[in-house]
Structure 1
Amino acid sequence: MAETMTVRQATMALLREHGMTTVFGNPGSTELGFLDRWPNDIRYVLGLQEASVVAMADGFARATGRPALCNLHSAAGVGHALGNVFTAFRNQAPVVITAGQQARGLLPGNPFLGATEAASFPKPYVKWSCEPARAEDVPAALAHAVHLAAQRPQGPTFVSIPSDDWQAPTRPLPPRRVSQDVAPDPALLADCAQALAAARNPVLVIGPEVDAEGAGDAAVALAEKLCAPVWASPFSARLSFPEDHALFAGHLAAAPPAVSNALAAHDLVLVLGAPVFTFHVAGDCALFRDGTPIWQVTPDAEALAAAGAGTGIQASLRLALPALAALLPPTDRAPAPPRARPAPPPAARPIAAEYLFHALSRLLPEDAVVVEEAPSHRPALQRHLPIRRWGGFYTMASGGLGYSLPAAVGVSLAHPGRRVCAIIGDGSMMYSIQALWTAAQHALPLTTIVVNNGGYGAMRSFSRVLGTEGVPGIDLPGIDFVALARGMGCAGLRVEDPAHLPDALAAALRHAAPMVLDVAVDAAIPTLYHKG
């Protein structure tokens, strides 16, 4: 007779097989069958709100490179989480999301906590979604979700599980190995190499997929062989290229004229691991009509299909980049002069964001990880806080706020003992501040720096760009982040005087447990987009 086990037992075996031994959740009654008699070898990380839970799983999954399981409560919990489900989809984060469903026998009567069309709720921002037709099919559905989440481009998947399925009998799942990579078309790769060799002045635009695949060193080797400058793609959610490298040219703004102007002098554009291109403001991208050859290499078929121009090669970067470099002949191109480094900003009052980031760059440990969600201060951060190490930077690929603080918790859990520095705007901080409680419960070495300009700085900037006046809901007076941090079990300190900032930063970066540093910065309206 074939071996049988419960759905729950088969699920736990699946998690162990895939190394998914950290589970993130905010549970409710429909999840109790899953949580019953929780095993000691699987860590359950509690978050206090579902959006925070998804972002923690996202940060953990991106930092480890493996799928992470996130357990939500019914349709209401999925609704709370949807903002960060959208962000996980844009981040290409391999998160397997489960949600409890009411017992199968009650579903025809539209019961309390019952989810109507549960599998459709998170669409289209999951790669795959399912509510199994039979209880015995739950482990197979979860295995499907795990394998598909890990396929490139990675992304979240979703399984709705009725509450009475966990003790139902099922058969154990056979062990499986599923490839995650796509090899490049050899003929197209050879054509790309030939075009690069013939170009007088090629340029590279590199996005987050390079770091996600562990192909960073191969990208550096390719750029050095081409002797070509490298720009970070707009809204890159990870390190695109070491920002202290002589070939690094800077960060492309998400504005079509700015992208065109930055790349106009080049006779070939090679885009690696990024869309062509992610824009935020309207305008004409001259590259799409002036005949400049654009080549794109990415595993993301949708990004290839959406590209405005050029030749696309669907391939995993870790396979394509070394193969492309091997096809290139030596070049006699002279490198462009390295970009000028900004002068140290003055220690003036009110504190300038530039001064904050410059001071932080001098004190941050070499192996620290930066997790950022301070959109209005991103240009200042990019100028004064260069990221140098692969796996050393994360942010959100979407525009949804409330991601990076809980994501920093997930990153910190993925790298025990490693300093993680979350740089969060005061507006962003209030979306998922409850993540501090989880950081405190796990005594994480997480330094959270609140870049506090007293409001939504990005909205101030866009109001100026769009010529709008008297817009309500932009200022955020009266928030005491130190008191909020202490209420969550974290140390807190506020800094207003630039003379006190270096010592306060040093103390926060030494603190063994989580600490919040609230830095009052200049509320002057930042410039997010330049025309060129």
Structure 2
Amino acid sequence: MPQMTTVRDATISLLRELGMTTVFGNPGSTELPMFRDFPDDFRYVLGLQESIVMGMADGFAQATRSAALVNLHSAAGVGHSLGNLFTAYKNQTPLVVTAGQQARSILPFEPFLFAERPTEFPQPYVKWAAEPARAEDVPAAIARAWYVAMQPPCGPTFVSIPVDDWDRECEPLAARKVSARNPGDPALLDEAAAMLSSARSPLIVVGAGVARDDAWDAVIALAEKHDAPVMVAPMSARCSFPEDHPLFAGFLTAGREPIVADLAGHDLVLVLGGPMSLYHVEAFGPHVPEGTRLVQIADNPAHVAWNPAGIGIVADTRLAIGTLLRADAPQRAAPAPLTRPGPLDGSVLSDAYLLQQIARLRPEGAILVEEAPSSRGVLHDRLPIVMRDGFYTTASGGLGHGLPAAVGVALGRPGERVIALLGDGSAMYAIQGLHAAAQWKLPVTFVIVNNGRYEALHSFGRVFGMQQLVGTALPHLDFVALAQGQGVPATRVEKSADLDAALSKNFASHGPSLVEVIVDG
């Protein structure tokens, strides 16, 4: 007979083997037995609201490239987390989300604080969901959730666990080694390599999958071998190519017509690590210029499936580029370098000037986590990302991810400086995340771009011919007081002359700090 243990002890042992010793949570009554005799080599990171919990776990999992463990409370707690669960799904972030359920013996009586149809609630934004039929199946369910979460395309999984399961007996469960990296279809990759070798003027478009697959060096080598300019796919949530490289050619806009305009003159477009046909506004006409061939390589079959033209290859980007690098490259003229705007003198404290100064003063190796949608364009112009794994943002467009994600990135990359660039509206979705940064004394500088409104909506409203918008003003917010109330030192900057000193001081701080910058317009 195998030696028996409790579900809790078997689960803790399994989590330890899988490397999930950091738990992100906001516990309720049905989760408490999980944490009886909580082991010393585990840590519990408390979020003051479940969306904060999910955002921190997302940042941590991306920073460590391994699934993070999230612990929530039945239906209400899971419900609070769903906005950032959606973002984690779009980010392709591996998460194992557990939620407490009421005791099995009282489930037939619709008890207080239970989850009805718990596995359906988080769908479709989890890859797999289960409430085990037996208590002794809980460790196996968590193991499967980890394997599925880590299988490309990575993403969240969900396990609902009745409160009385933790003290039941079960057999121990050892972790297994499971790999799902896909090198790609050899014949199609050979065809793509031949197309690249024969192309007159190839263009490479990189998406977030390049960063997820750690293909930074491989893309640089491929671009340099073919003297191919490199553009960034629309709304890419990661930096996949150094933006100070001579072959860097800018960013594609999330619209059909501007994409076609940017692709003009290229007879081959090679899309690596994500969708290029990601549109934000309605448009018509072709998806690529006439005569342009398209090859897309991505780890997400859904991205390949919706690609409207050309060849699609499901593969790990780094492995696939290895095949492409073996093909010959003809001599081509190097493309003209990207033209960047000239420096600003600070006569106006604009978001563009703020980003220019962050670029000048940021410590070497600092990581940028961004959620300032109305400043994304000037970020591209003024704050180039030049470092592998140096940039994180939301792939979903939902707000409330950036602030807690910055906390999670700092936990996942200890000792490294993190700069969280946040719009005032975005920051208010997740302001409670400052508390966790203070409790863990993390080296995160939160920079709030305060323009007093949801500026992104004003810009987008003009697409619909709207000059006035309701519900977009954000008067009377005091981010200094909000930060100090949670234990984070804070400074307000209202004049350009004070900006450099404030940024330098806060970038050098050993713990968290916040700089609120009142920008013009």
TM-score range, shorter chain: over 0.9
Aligned partner (choices 473, 497, 509) of residue 475 of structure 1? 473
Aligned counterpart, 1:121:
121
Q: Give yes or no for contact 2:260–2:286 (8 Å, CA) kept in 1.
A: yes
Aligned counterpart, 2:98:
98
Q: What is the one-letter code of the residue matched to 1:330?
A: A
User: Within 1, Cα distance between the matches of 2:423 and 2:175?
Assistant: 45
User: Which 10-residue stretch deviates more, 63-72 or 256-265?
Assistant: 256-265
Cα 1:289–1:383 shift into 2, 3 Å: closer
Aligned counterpart, 2:234:
234
Instruction: State the percentage of identical aligned residues.
Output: 53
Aligned counterpart, 2:331:
332
User: Which 10-residue stretch deviates more, 170-179 or 137-146?
Assistant: 170-179
- CA positional deviation for 1:331: 2.1
1:161-216 Cα deviation digits (max 9, x unpaired): 01111111111113311003012111111100111111100101100111111111
User: Within 2, Cα distance between the matches of 1:397 and 1:330?
Assistant: 34
Q: Give yes or no for contact 1:23–1:69 (8 Å, CA) kept in 2.
A: yes
Aligned counterpart, 2:23:
23
- CA positional deviation for 1:276: 3.2
User: Which 10-residue stretch deviates more, 136-145 or 458-467?
Assistant: 458-467
Aligned counterpart, 2:400:
402
Aligned counterpart, 1:294:
294
SS at match of 1:71: strand
User: Which 10-residue stretch deviates more, 291-300 or 492-501?
Assistant: 291-300
Q: What is the one-letter code of the residue matched to 1:48?
A: L
SS at match of 1:389: coil
User: Within 1, Cα distance between the matches of 2:456 and 2:80?
Assistant: 24
CA-based RMSD of the aligned residues comes to 1.0
Q: Give yes or no for contact 1:63–1:411 (8 Å, CA) kept in 2.
A: yes
Q: Give yes or no for contact 1:55–1:403 (8 Å, CA) kept in 2.
A: yes
1:241-280 residue pairs with structure 2 within 5 A?
Answer: 241-280=241-280
User: Within 1, Cα distance between the matches of 2:3 and 2:285?
Assistant: 61
SS at match of 1:287: coil
1:445-474 Cα deviation digits (max 9, x unpaired): 100000011010111101112112332111
User: Within 2, Cα distance between the matches of 1:129 and 1:141?
Assistant: 9
Aligned counterpart, 1:443:
441
1:57-72 residue pairs with structure 2 within 5 A?
Answer: 57-72=57-72
- CA positional deviation for 1:251: 1.0
User: Within 1, Cα distance between the matches of 2:116 and 2:478?
Assistant: 41
- CA positional deviation for 1:90: 0.2
Q: Gaps (5+ residues) in structure 1?
A: 524-532
User: Within 1, Cα distance between the matches of 2:27 and 2:210?
Assistant: 35
Q: What is the one-letter code of the residue matched to 2:32?
A: L
User: Within 2, Cα distance between the matches of 1:76 and 1:160?
Assistant: 13
Aligned counterpart, 1:341:
340
Q: What is the one-letter code of the residue matched to 1:415?
A: R
User: Within 2, Cα distance between the matches of 1:306 and 1:507?
Assistant: 47
1:167-316 residue pairs with structure 2 within 5 A?
Answer: 167-284=167-284, 286-288=286-288, 290-316=290-316
- CA positional deviation for 1:332: 0.4
Q: Give yes or no for contact 2:25–2:47 (8 Å, CA) kept in 1.
A: yes
Q: Gaps (5+ residues) in structure 2?
A: none
Q: What is the one-letter code of the residue matched to 1:346?
A: D
Cα 1:171–1:71 shift into 2, 3 Å: same
1:29-48 residue pairs with structure 2 within 5 A?
Answer: 29-48=29-48
Aligned partner (choices 416, 419, 427) of residue 417 of structure 2? 419
Cα 1:291–1:108 shift into 2, 3 Å: farther
Aligned counterpart, 1:527:
none
SS at match of 1:246: coil
Aligned counterpart, 2:375:
377
- CA positional deviation for 1:346: 2.4
User: Within 1, Cα distance between the matches of 2:423 and 2:19?
Assistant: 34
Aligned counterpart, 1:526:
none
Confirm or deny that 1:457 pairs with 2:452.
Answer: no
Confirm or deny that 1:134 pairs with 2:129.
Answer: no
1:100-152 Cα deviation digits (max 9, x unpaired): 01111111111111111000100000111111111111100000000111111
Aligned partner (choices 353, 362, 365) of residue 364 of structure 1? 362
Cα 1:431–1:174 shift into 2, 3 Å: same
- CA positional deviation for 1:241: 0.8
User: Within 2, Cα distance between the matches of 1:247 and 1:369?
Assistant: 22
1:42-94 Cα deviation digits (max 9, x unpaired): 11101100000001000000000011001011110000000000000000000
Aligned counterpart, 2:162:
162
User: Within 2, Cα distance between the matches of 1:428 and 1:278?
Assistant: 22
- CA positional deviation for 1:298: 0.9
User: Within 2, Cα distance between the matches of 1:405 and 1:155?
Assistant: 20
User: Which 10-residue stretch deviates more, 461-470 or 214-223?
Assistant: 461-470
Confirm or deny that 1:505 pairs with 2:503.
Answer: yes
User: Within 2, Cα distance between the matches of 1:370 and 1:45?
Assistant: 22
- CA positional deviation for 1:289: 7.0
Q: Give yes or no for contact 1:259–1:285 (8 Å, CA) kept in 2.
A: no
User: Within 2, Cα distance between the matches of 1:197 and 1:291?
Assistant: 17
User: Within 2, Cα distance between the matches of 1:338 and 1:276?
Assistant: 22
The alignment covers a number of residue pairs equal to: 521
Q: Give yes or no for contact 2:132–2:141 (8 Å, CA) kept in 1.
A: yes
SS at match of 1:235: coil
Aligned counterpart, 1:151:
151
Q: Give yes or no for contact 2:7–2:168 (8 Å, CA) kept in 1.
A: yes
